[in-house]
């Protein structure tokens, strides 16, 4: 194409491109999918953690939400201290 007939590209932002700055820090609970994204794990793995009782959830209406505090608790419980870390 010549001159001003050049095609214009639009930028579409997908959920994969979202950074930590895009998290709403005022949320008290998030969806299972959002919880998985925050932990950088898959949805199936997140449901397995919930099923095994490693991460607590709360029912809200007909859906389930993961309290943000439950994610913090899970990480705190599973952090390795420098002494126990595998080299």
**Residue at 52 is within a domain:** yes
Would you put residue 35 in left (φ > 0), alpha (ψ -120 to 50) or beta? alpha
Query: What does pTM read for this prediction?
Result: 0.65
Does 72 fall in a domain?
yes
Report yes or no on 56 lying in a domain: yes
Judged on CB neighbours under 10 Å (0-12, 13-18, 19+), 46 is: buried
pLDDT tens across the length of the chain (87 residues): 555 565 555 544 444 444 555 667 778 999 999 999 999 999 999 999 999 999 999 999 999 999 999 999 999 999 876 665 565
Number of compact structural domains in the chain: 1
**φ, ψ of residue 16 in degrees (nearest 5):** -65, -30
- The two three-digit tokens of residue 30, written as one number: 């998030």
Residue 27 located in a structural domain: no
- Structural domain that includes position 72: 33-77
């Amino acid at each position: 194409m010549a001159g001003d007939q050049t095609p214009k590209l639009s930028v579409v932002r997908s959920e994969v491109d979202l950074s930590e700055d895009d998290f709403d820090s005022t949320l008290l609970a998030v969806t299972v999918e959002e919880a998985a994204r925050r932990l950088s794990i898959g949805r199936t793995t997140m449901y397995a953690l919930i099923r095994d009782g490693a991460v607590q959830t709360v029912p809200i209406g007909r859906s389930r939400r993961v309290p943000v505090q439950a994610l913090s608790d899970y990480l705190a419980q599973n952090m390795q201290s420098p002494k126990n870390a595998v080299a």
